[in-house]
Amino acid sequence: MSENNLPGVPTSQPISYDEPTTPTDPPKPKPDQAGPANVSATGADYGAAPTTNAQQGRRLTSAVGVPLRNTDHSLTAGPRGPILLQDQHFREKISHFDHERIPERVVHARGAAAHGVFEANGAAEKITRAAFLKKGVQTDTFVRFSTVLGSRGSADTARDTRGFATKFYTTDGNYDLVGNNIPVFFIQDAIKFPDIIHAGKPHPDREIPQAQSAHDTFWDFVSLHTEGQHHTIWNMSDRGIPRSLRTMEGFGIHTFRLVNDAGETTLVKFHWKPKLGVHSTTWEEAQIAGGTDPDFHRRDLADAIEAGAYPQWDFGVQTFPDTEDQMFEGIDLLDPTKMVPEELAPVQIIGTMTLNRNPINYFAETEQVMFNPANLVPGIDVTYDPLLQGRLFSYQDTQLTRLGGPNFQQIPINRPHAPVNDMLRDGFHQAGVHGGVAAYHPNSLDGNNPLPTPPEEGSYIEVPQRFEAVTDRKKAATFDDHFSQAGLFYRSLTPVEQEHVISAYTFELSKCWDETIRKRQLQALANIDATLCSEVATGLGLDAPSPTEPVEDTATSPALSQVGGEWPVDGRQVGIVVDGSSDFSAVSSMRSALLGAGVVPLVVAPTAGKIGDGVVANRTWANASSVEFDAVILTTAAAPAPDARTARDAKAGQNAGPGVDPRIDKLLGEAWRHAKAIAALPDAESTLTAAGVDAGAPGVIVGAAGDLGTGVLAALAKHRAWERFPASV
């Protein structure tokens, strides 16, 4: 407690306090974080960004820079008296806090983001004049991934579509590609968006269930509104439960129109292809992770970037001639419930994006970023896809409420890196100090500035389109087929993936209370695939209906399956189970081998802290969860550890064999069921058997210490050992 020497205050009344910790200089951002560029709304560079550090220096000030002497006590009339209204610091602090929250996004509220850089390879130069797609051009990007239905605090692993929104800060202004991880959408016309979202969100009476489609209103809508069936089957597949944001594809969904310098146009669909491959969790894993680590995807993305395992995606286009009817091989390119199989129009890679920097402040960047499909740059134009057309209005509009007024482009994360010279003025939160008197065109008072840019100098040109039409509220007949591509998707999956789809439909529909909804959805499945329908019907205890439309059942698109390749293992996590009996020099070499391969080894020990020979526990037997690990290595027989209380809790419901710690038994059992690689030293083989792991099965490696790391890496490259469980459909 320090001495009070304030004028007029009795020295007997102590009012200032020693700091509990010795002040030091404020922490710098981590190496993988840096502040946003500090340019003004009009493009002026303000120099060193005041927003890069939470703390600018050692001394606390008010919002207007007045040094403050104390922030732990309000100004009171005597030490036990009331707080005075004149306490500006109190009012400023509490009032600002009262208004800290802004409305969450009406959809895609739950998200995680990262900065990156996009480099074009020049392959698109012939078909677009977009400056950022010229060979070798590097463009800063900011990407926000999201789930759709859940609130801001919901779990990352919910079965849902994922948003994949990219802002390119190009030299011609911001280009936003606001896509998803599924190439088609639920509806064909934007006017239905409130309907599908109201159906998917929690029921309005009890506000449950959170972040789920497994409820009556969702299935009521998609079974009545069958154009949603194609998107729905993607949700019910493994695509609905990604392993990581780093292992998701991205799709622009709509067909866009590219235009080159000669004015020639090409229709395209945009794709993001993850270098790590497309991988998913199993449904049980997703549910466990939702409880043990609701931040599963957010943490994985930030950890990978912090560790230098920068996620990368190739950016590609499928191209189509810009014909008058905008059809390709019988597919209406304006129908967003249809994709074009890659076998018919291969994806041509036009660049690569690397995410290499974590945000420093979640609110300032990830929350305040806004994306808008109408943010286009010269060389990219829209088509008349009725879903895209509606989106061109909606995204600008929603920010007025969410970000509190029309000046959201001036928020640091949204500012273009290109100069801005607009005639937009005033409004809430105006941060630009605009000079001049003539914010209108033409003018003579400000020298007729700002001047429009002639087309040959690079202004944005909307591609001229001819119209001859009669207004109406109806879709073209080419939008009528709601089932054939859902069937194509299902048939293109491997048997194990098909089994997952069957289980997902069965699970979700079994959560519906109303049997008419279950039956109506079964009718839709009958129009997709007979086996899918009958398997789900069996699970629901209902009869499988006959199709009401002819079911085309031969074509497949192998590119739609996720299974059957080998991929890089960067950033995957391997749990190494140890206890006091483990050979720690072998554990250390395993760790080094895994680290050398870009994999994250995590030592799982009975207690926290040092466990032996310089090896430190990263997880304990009590706090580790199987879902954190893509593979498990057992270096001990894992006899029960002495913290009996937790062990007893974990034992409930488990069938640990004699002499095996129940938590390790559980860990191994789950890794086995989730088709993950499991490796063990010969001494630990009996533990595998006790946990129900078949030591001779695919993806299970029993051998000498030196062989385990290699075996696990080979198994990890295949993602899962699905051969362990031959599919029964």
- List active site positions: 108, 180
Which range touches ligand HDE (CB under 6 A), out of 323-331, 389-397, 432-440, 639-647?
Answer: 389-397
Among 370, 502, 525, 611, binds ligand HDE (CB under 6 A): 370
Q: How far is the CB of 390 from ligand HDE (least distance, A)?
A: 4
Q: At closest approach, how far in Å is the CB of 164 from ligand HDE? A: 6
Is residue 395 within the footprint of ligand HDE (CB under 6 A)? yes
Q: Is 106 in the site for ligand HDE (CB under 6 A)?
A: yes
Residue 108 neighbours by CB under 8 Å, 6+ apart: 146, 147, 148, 163, 165
Which residue number places its CB atom closest to ligand HDE?
163
DSSP state of 679: E
* Nearer CB in complex with ligand HDE: 106/349: 106
Shortest distance, position 395 Cβ to ligand HDE, whole Å: 4
Secondary structure percentages of the chain, helix, strand, coil, to 5: 30, 15, 55
Look at strands 610-612 and 615-616 and give their pairing: antiparallel
**Among 67-75, 100-108, 431-439, 691-699, the segment contacting ligand HDE (CB under 6 A):** 100-108
Distances from the Cα of 557 to the Cαs of 115, 537, 594, in angstroms? 33, 26, 35
- Shortest spacing between CB 30 and ligand HDE, in angstroms: 23
CB 233 within 8 A of CB 488: no
Q: Which of 178, 528, 664, 684 binds ligand HDE (CB under 6 A)?
A: 178
Minimum distance of ligand HDE from residue 69's CB (angstroms): 41
Q: Closest Cα partner for 73 from 10, 12, 13?
A: 13
DSSP code of residue 413 = G
Q: What is the 8-class DSSP label of residue 699?
A: T
Q: Report the nearest approach of ligand HDE to the CB of residue 331 (Å).
A: 17
Contact window for ligand HDE (CB under 6 A) among 99-107, 416-424, 441-449, 703-711: 99-107
Alpha-carbon 592 to chain mean position: 30
181 binds ligand HDE (CB under 6 A): no
By CB under 6 A, tell whether 105 contacts ligand HDE.
yes
Min. distance of Cβ 482 from ligand HDE in angstroms? 17
Strands 162-170 and 173-180: antiparallel
Binding residue for ligand HDE, selected from 151, 394, 506, 607, defined by CB under 6 A:
394
Quick one: which of 146, 226, 265, 410 contacts ligand HDE (CB under 6 A)? 146
- 390 belongs to the binding site for ligand HDE (CB under 6 A): yes
Single-letter amino acid code for the residue at 118: F
Residue 304 binds to ligand HDE (criterion: CB under 6 A): no
Residue window 569-608: x/- pattern of binding to ligand HDE, with contact defined by CB under 6 A: ----------------------------------------
Interaction of residue 356 with ligand HDE, rule CB under 6 A: no
Q: Taking the complex as a whole, how short is the minimal distance between the CB of residue 373 and ligand HDE, in angstroms? A: 7
Sequence-separated (6 or more) residues with CB below 8 Å from residue 491: 529, 553, 554, 555, 556
Which pairs from 547-554 meet CB under 8 Å and 24+ separation? Answer: 548/523, 549/483, 551/483, 551/487, 551/526, 551/527, 552/484, 552/487, 553/487, 553/491, 553/529, 554/491
The contacts of residue 341 (CB under 8 Å, 6+ apart) are: 488, 557, 559, 560
Whole-Å CA distances, 103 to 403, 648, 707? 8, 44, 53
Task: Check: CB of residue 52 under 8 Å from CB of residue 29.
Answer: yes
Residue 110 interacts with ligand HDE (CB under 6 A)? no
- Give, as ranges, the residues between 225 and 264 that touch ligand HDE (CB under 6 A): 253
Stretches 179-187, 340-348, 683-691, 693-701: which one binds ligand HDE (CB under 6 A)? Answer: 179-187
Angle at 296 between CA 291 and CA 302, to 5 degrees: 155
Residue of 186, 182, 72 whose CA lies nearest to 482: 186
Does 545 contact ligand HDE by CB under 6 A? no
The site for ligand HDE, by CB under 6 A, has a size of 24
Closer to ligand HDE by CB, 253 or 496: give it: 253
CA distances 405 to 152, 400, 401, 429, 658, Å, are 21, 5, 7, 7, 65
**Residues 286-308: b if buried by 16+ CB within 10 A, e if exposed:** bbbbbeebbbbbbebbbebbeee
Contact flag: residue 301 with ligand HDE (CB under 6 A): no
Q: Which range of residues in 27-35, 174-182, 222-230, 583-591 is near ligand HDE by CB under 6 A?
A: 174-182
As measured in angstroms, the least distance from the Cβ of 597 to ligand HDE is: 33
180 binds ligand HDE (CB under 6 A): yes
Nearer to ligand HDE, 107 or 377 (CB): 107
Buried/exposed code over 668-682 (b: 16+ C-beta within 10 A; e: otherwise): bbbbbbbbbbbbbbe
Stretch that binds ligand HDE, among 226-234, 388-396, 656-664, 689-697 (CB under 6 A): 388-396
Matching residue, tokens 């004015």: 263
Q: Rule CB under 6 A: say whether 193 interacts with ligand HDE.
A: yes
Q: Which of 41, 131, 190, 693 is in the footprint of ligand HDE by CB under 6 A?
A: 190
Q: What is the DSSP string of 461-503?
A: -PPP--------S---GGG---SHHHHHHHHHS-HHHHHHHHH
Residue range at the interface with ligand HDE (CB under 6 A); choices 383-391, 409-417, 501-509, 512-520: 383-391
Q: Phi and psi for 251 in degrees, rounded to 5?
A: -140, 140
Query: Nearest CA to 355 among 131, 33, 35, 28?
Result: 33
165 interacts with ligand HDE by CB under 6 A:
yes
Please count the other Cβ atoms lying within 10 Å of the Cβ belonging to residue 363: 11
* DSSP letter (8 states) at residue 429: T
Applying the rule CB under 6 A, the residues between 38 and 97 that interact with ligand HDE are none
By CB under 6 A, residue 116 contacts ligand HDE: no
Binding residues for ligand HDE, rule: CB under 6 A, are 105-108, 111, 144, 146, 163, 165, 178-180, 185, 190, 193, 253, 370-371, 387, 390-391, 394-395, 398
